[in-house]
Amino acid sequence: MSNKTDKTIPGEMTEGEIKGKLETPASADGDVHAPRPEHRSQHGFQARVLELEDENQKLKRSLEALTKSRDRYTYLFDFAPAGYLTLDEHGVIQKINLTAAGMLARERSALIGLPFVQFIAKADQKKFADHLSESRRERRRRLTAELRLVGKGGWHLPVEMHTASMRDTRHCVFYRSVLTDISERLLVRTALDQSRRQLEQKVSERTAALQENRQLEAEVAERKRLEAELRQRMQELADADRHKDEFMAMLAHELRNPLAAIVNATELMRRKASGHQHLQDWACRVIKDQASHLAHLLDDLLDVARVTQGKIVLDQSTIDLRKIVSQAIEANRALIEERRHRLNVRVPPEPIWIHGDGTRCVQIIGNLIHNAAKFTEVQGDIEVLLETEADEAVVRVRDNGTGITADLLPRIFEPFTQEDRSLARSRGGLGIGLSLVKKLVELHHGRVEVFSKGPGEGSEFAIRLPTVKAAGTGRESGESVEGAGLPAADQYILVVDDNVSSADSLSTLLQAYGYQVQVVYDGKLALERVQERVPDVVLLDIGMPQMDGYEVALRMRENPRLAATRLIAVSGYGQEEDRQRSRQAGFNHHLVKPVDIDVLLDLLGSRPS
């Protein structure tokens, strides 16, 4: 056995001591040649010999155990899975096992006494120095560092170095280190890092795909929404086109009926020119009534257009709603009496004041009463009720007529809505009255409601308008009338209209009432005629070619000779801005075709009694 591997087992003797004992088995009592006491007996000597032989056997067994332990330690030290080495305070190799030598690919004997740093990759040598320095400061504490060892062929072996600093019996620092091959761990770590990167890449790609899918889903949803909106819009356009066709058919029907009556009455007057005065009177009434009906249809159409375009300007003042209800009833009195309806009117004794346009309010309530009379069978019941609720005035128009179906109620106020689409169309109308009512009520900051239990159960319309505290001083509905004060025979009237039939018929009518009338068919000729003779009144059309009525009026107002001449616009244009332009051009009045002859005679101031 080499002395390099001798080990001391605590509590046992060293191998040299045991050999010494074995070589002198009888020396336990000192020198065997020393004189013995005479009193020692032969028996004691033999016992001592046996005792020494037993101790010798024990020592042999201890030596064998020590040898086996040393061999086992040597084997474990050399062939451990980790590399073991001992370094002095300068990092020089003092001891190294076969595993550590194998990591460096060198013989163990060739490594003893060499600096360990020379077997470390240059890039890690500073890390190794710092590792030893820190281990020295942190005495007996094991520290760890990852380093790369360099073999003979220049290849690198990654290891994990665990080091603890100690001091020997002379208080000199030395290092005990353990080297663990971590190449497989690094391979696993690299593989894990690569797998992680691949997974992250897949996650990123999947996330992008999901985002793309979500974007695609959003695009699909948006496309579906647009398609649904397009289908709805196409349906609305189709409905609007159908409503337009139905409206045109209704309009043709509504226009042809009064035109047919007028044609018949005219033909009767032509064939029975004399000797049948009662037929002549009847024909005149028919023509007047049907012309008024046509004018009413045109007014409703124009009103709907004006309200839709926001062009209606209300002439508002403080008015008593009781008077409005009374005027609306009187406007429909003839229809109510014709159909022999029972009319029940309930209004409070005290005034109910609202701020509104009197003419438009009469139109609103009158339309509801007209509908009630029209859609209630002969000898039906109609009730008109005026009351207040909180700060609102409420006008209710009830009837026991045909009623309204449930599917029609939500759209009853839409333009051109009618329940009767049959060829008979016994009720007549264009289906714009209720739409106009709703829009006019909203212009007055009110609302309109409808109730009906169904067909045959009648209906009720309620108008709610905000009330005001007291009456105002402004005038109520109607246009002021200033008469000329001259007899018809003393008034010279100039009629200016590019429509020959309209001009001649109006001239003939005025001449029949005794007026002096001259007709011209363009504006320039009118300016020439007023230089020849100053008229008392000029009935002037607006829409004429070359020079319109506004320009003619302006030029006439520049002529001092015409200061007393009254200018009356007679035009098919009747919107508020048209009336405003008329006033700015110098017109005294603005009448809309067809002219109500009674109104015109009132303006002329010579209406016959």
pLDDT in tens, 131-150: 999 998 887 688 999 999 99
145 backbone dihedrals φ, ψ, rounded to 5°: -145, 150
What's the whole-number mean pLDDT along residues 378-407?
A: 92
Give the bridge partners for 346, in sequence order: 385
- Tell me: pLDDT of 607 over 50: no
The C-alpha atoms of residue 302 and residue 571 are separated, in whole angstroms, by 14
Strand partners, 161: 145, 179
The answer to whether 142 and 163 are in contact (CB under 8 A) is yes
Q: Give the pLDDT score at 261.
A: 79
pLDDT at 249: 67
Q: What is the pLDDT of residue 26?
A: 45
83-181: CATH number: 3.30.450.20
Nearest to 265 by CA among 243, 246, 240, 282: 282
Percentage of the residues of the chain whose pLDDT score is greater than 90: 33
d(CA 89, CA 95): 13
- Return the biggest CA–CA distance within the chain: 204
Residue 332 CA to residue 372 CA, distance in Å, equals: 10
Domain 488-604: homologous superfamily in CATH? Response regulator (3.40.50.2300)
Q: Which residues contact 580 (CB under 8 A, 6 or more apart)?
A: none
Q: What is the fold, at CATH topology level, of the domain defined by 315-466?
A: Heat Shock Protein 90 (3.30.565)
- The mean per-residue pLDDT over the stretch 374-386 comes to 93
- β strands within 153-194, DSSP E: 156-167, 173-181
Q: What is the pTM of this model?
A: 0.47
Per-residue confidence (pLDDT) for residue 608, from 0 to 100: 43
pLDDT tens-place string over residues 168-204: 888 899 999 999 998 888 888 888 899 889 999 988 8
pLDDT of residue 425: 43
More confident residue, 231 or 309: 231
pLDDT digits (tens, 9 = 90+) for 20-55: 554 444 444 444 455 555 555 677 777 878 888 888
Q: Which sequence spans correspond to the domains of the chain? A: 3-79, 83-181, 187-288, 315-466, 488-604
pLDDT higher than threshold 70 for residue 376: yes
Q: Taking Cα atoms as reference points, which of 114, 111, 178, 119 lies closest to residue 144?
A: 178
Asked, colleague to colleague, whether 83-181 and 488-604 share their fold, the answer is no
Choice among 76-85, 346-355, 370-379, 539-548 with the minimum mean pLDDT: 76-85
Local structure of 462: helix, strand or coil: strand
Does the structure show a pLDDT above 50 at 423?
Answer: no
pLDDT at 375 over 60: yes
User: Whose CA is closest to 568, among 508, 516, 497?
Assistant: 497
Runs of H (alpha helix) within 420-492: 433-443
Quick one: CA dihedral 483, 485, 489, 494, positive or negative? negative
If you search the block for the tokens 């002395």, which residue do you land on? 3
